[in-house]
Amino acid sequence: MRNGTRVALLAAVACATLLTGCTRPGSADSAAIADQVRKDATELVADYNAQNAAAAAAWDAPDYVGVFHGTPNVNGPAADEAGMKAAMAATKVLWQIGEAKVTVSKAGDLGIFEAPYTFTMTTPQGASSKESGTWIAIFKRQDDGKMKLWRSIGSDAPLAKGATS
């Protein structure tokens, strides 16, 4: 093997070795993103339970859409905040979430949070009811690099036979 060929081959091997330790642009650290999405979803629920509609809506992306059974879709953070304020004025809601599953897209631009939920709603007069179901929250990476709530879908589970809400 000639010296020029040997040098070129060694340089190619050295470059390949260096590149294997690098991540591609746009590649994702799925575990870190999943942890962040789980943390963000949990903090959003805490803000809601603290009756802080502004803080809860601050998690929303500018193009947020909320889809919940029996209600019109909510479009955008301002509408979400207004809806939460109205609901919070009418009832005290304790929002509990169970063990979550988080799925991250290959590109790392979406994180899907899925968890069972229970809402315990108490009116100012003291009457209460419960609702359980599944919450799916899709967080989307924004231009500034932060993950924001892009879609929120709540689907209640049917009541057990003979149960009342």
**Model confidence over 30-57: pLDDT tens digits?**
999 999 999 999 999 999 999 999 999 9
- Sign of the dihedral through C-alpha 71, 72, 73, 76: negative
Question: Are the C-beta atoms of residues 41 and 137 closer than 8 Å to each other?
Answer: yes
- Predicted confidence (pLDDT) per residue in 96-145, tens digit: 999 999 999 999 999 999 999 999 999 999 999 999 999 999 999 999 99
Query: Which residue shows structure tokens 């005290």?
Result: 92
Q: For the chain, what's the residue count?
A: 165
For the domain covering 29-156, report its CATH number.
3.10.450.50
Q: What is the largest CA-CA distance in the chain?
A: 91
The CA distances from residue 116 to 11, 132, 134, 153, in Å, are 54, 7, 4, 12
pTM: 0.79
End-to-end Cα distance, the chain:
82
